[in-house]
Structure formats: C-alpha cells, structure tokens
Structure 1
Amino acid sequence: MSSIPHDLAAFLVEAKRRTYAGLDDDATMATPLLAGSKQLEHRAPPYAYRDIYFGMGFFVGQETVSRDDRVIWSMSYSGGVRAEIRDRESFLAIYKVLRQALLGVRAEQPYRGPPLFEQAGMVYRSEVEGALGRFHGVETIAWQDGTKLYELRYSGGLLR
C-alpha cells in the first residue's frame, strides 16, 4: 500500500480527539499491552488507532493506525516539560494547554495540534515538515515572553 488512503487523515483527527486530547488519561486501557505504559485506543472500522506511551514529565510513545488488522501508519514521539519543572500545578497547567491545543488537530496536518494556539498566557506551536506519508516536526509550549516550558519531537509516516 504505497498510496495514502483518502480517509486516513480524517480518521486520525477523530481518533486523537477521542483519546488523549479529549479524554486525557480517562481514555487509557485498563490493561495495556506493555506493563507500565498508558495505552489509548479508538476504533472505526476498517481502522484502529493505538497510542502507547511511557512517562509523564518526560515521555516517549508511539501511535499506530491499522487497517483491516495491518499497521499502515505510525508516528513516534518524545518530549515533555523542562526538567526543572517539578510541581504538580505547573504540570497540570501545561498539559491542560497541551490537550486544548491537541483538540485543534486538523486533517491538513493530523499529527499534533495546530501551528499556533494560545491559552492561559502560554503559546503552543507545532512546526512540521513533510506530509502524511513521511513527516517530522516539533511542538513547543512557552510563556508569552518566550520562556520554553515544554518541547516534543515527532516523526512518522505510511509504512511500506
């Protein structure tokens, strides 16, 4: 399968909005495949989406999309808040802005959030190169003065 299914981007947008972005950890499977991980899933046949990640302050994960039980697309990611940020309130505030930004995912770039989102004095940015078939990018959250609070790198594409 070398061509991108016409409905893959729309499915990714729906899956992301119905898992972490929309439900946070409430979308987590009770018994994940990998011990110690968070696992979020969404199904809309013929597609199935799975996001498995480890960690919180710094985290690493992978999203996969299967079509008819065969993985056709994947994205890996790693990042988190700056190491010196340790208090729970800061984590919650930063990740609340992140989830709100991720709800703005759109079919033109169905990887993370929109290019720019601002809330609660914080600025979220996502810069990506490539297209759904093969891409890489970085997302950041900073105070409006530019002080970086969070960074994540992501990459992926269509498997062949």
Structure 2
Amino acid sequence: MVLFPEGEEKLIFLLISNNIQPVSTPLIKGTTQYDFQNGEYLYRDIFVTGEGNFAGQEVICRGNSPIWTMVYCGAVDQGGMSDFLHISGAKENIGISKDDIFNFLRKALYKNSEEVRFGFPGRRIYQEEKWSYSEIGKKDFRDSPGFSGDEHITYKKRLVYRLFYQGGFLPAGWKNSQIILEGLFKPKQEV
C-alpha cells in the first residue's frame, strides 16, 4: 500500500524529524497545532495535553481534500507507568525528561516510517541503548480502509509512554459528504 507518490512515503514523519515549531494561532483554542506543507500535501496535527496525558488528531490533505486521518490518545511519564492513564507521582524519576521520550519516539517513527501507524498487521520494534519502541498495528475494520494499533516506549525496561491510535484513508467522496453534513449544523432560518 502506498499513500503518497514515490519519494513522499515519509511525508507524515517529516514533521517529526524536522523539529518544526507549533503554529502561533491554532485553529482550536487551547490546543497545540503543527502544520507541514510539502507540495500539494498538508500534514496537520492538533492535540491537547494534560497531566501526562494527551489526545489529538492528525490529518493529511491533498490540495483542499482530506485523504487520511488518525486520532490518538496516550500518556507519558518520566518515572515509569504502572497503568495507562494512571500516572503515579510516587515513583522516582529515572533520569529522563519528556523531551528525551519524544526525541526517541521521533527516531523510532522515522526509522519505521513506511510501516508504523498505518495499521500494518504485526509488531515493529526499534531499540537503541536503554530505549525500546514497540508498535502493534491492526487492520481490523472489515471492508474499510481503517486501522488501529498501539505503541509503547520503555526506558530501562520501564514503560514511560503509551499511545492508542485509530484512523484510515478517507474515501474520495468524503469532502462532498462533509459539506452536506456542515449544512445540518447551520441555524434554521426564520420563515
């Protein structure tokens, strides 16, 4: 499966590997937003963060039409997690920062960019010194272009990051359907 024309397969991860800064005025107040343009393709990531937890959506557009999307929810903790969404502040810091975790994640995603987060069945692993990245993709939406999966990062064998994702390719007629749906939310005109 090829999402982009030859030579652009890694587009979704160019943002991750190029250290792009967030936009100054995100489309949704209170969120962080990253945009990356490459020719006719636009990658956009909009997310919110809490105390160690985060959630967001990535979208890829060709021209003005969305062609791929993924939603995600996860958690990160420098002290090691005992459970997803349960961050224990009682654990000692194991000598890493959130930046360390996300820098390793960027490397792992870039090294595996043609397979991760596209729902290819099976497990992918990337290891470097005391770090380990593991992703399990599932193509589990029957007769649809959808996928889901989860990924983990461990440091010294302690879980420090976990993410669940779900997404898919958008059918060609999706934009037309979106315009029709937007009409449903306009206020009724007085007669």
Is the structural similarity TM-score above 0.5? yes
Deviates more, 1:134-143 or 1:89-98: 89-98
The answer to whether residue 44 in structure 2 is matched with residue 50 in structure 1 is: yes
Identify the residue that residue 133 of structure 1 maps to in structure 2: 145
The answer to whether residue 107 in structure 2 is matched with residue 100 in structure 1 is: yes
Give me the TM-score of the superposition, normalised by structure 1: 0.78
Q: Which amino acid aligns with 1:62?
A: Q
Query: How far off is 1:97 after superposition?
Result: 1.4
Identify the residue that residue 20 of structure 1 maps to in structure 2: 16
| Residue aligned with 1:35, SS | coil
Gap change, CA 1:8 and 1:153, over 3 Å in 2: farther
Deviations 1:80-136 (A, max 9, x none): 213126969432322221122122242244549x91112241211111012993211
The answer to whether residue 32 in structure 2 is matched with residue 38 in structure 1 is: yes
Q: Which amino acid aligns with 1:151?
A: R
Q: Which sections of structure 1, spanning at least 5 residues, go unmatched?
A: none
| Residue aligned with 1:27, SS | coil
Counterpart CA distance in 1 for 2:44 and 2:60 is 7
Gap change, CA 1:72 and 1:44, over 3 Å in 2: same
Query: How far off is 1:66 after superposition?
Result: 1.2
Query: How far off is 1:14 after superposition?
Result: 2.1
Q: Which amino acid aligns with 1:119?
A: E
Q: Which protein has the bigger strand share? A: 1
Identify the residue that residue 149 of structure 1 maps to in structure 2: 160
Query: How far off is 1:34 after superposition?
Result: 1.1
Query: How far off is 1:35 after superposition?
Result: 1.4
Query: How far off is 1:63 after superposition?
Result: 0.5
Calculate the aligned-residue CA RMSD, in Å.
3.0
Counterpart CA distance in 2 for 1:138 and 1:64 is 18
Give me the TM-score of the superposition, normalised by structure 2: 0.67
Identify the residue that residue 178 of structure 2 maps to in structure 1: none
Identity over the aligned pairs, expressed in percent?
26
Answer yes or no: is the 8 Å Cα contact 1:11–1:47 preserved in 2. no
Q: Which structure would you say has the larger Rg?
A: 2
| Residue aligned with 1:101, SS | helix
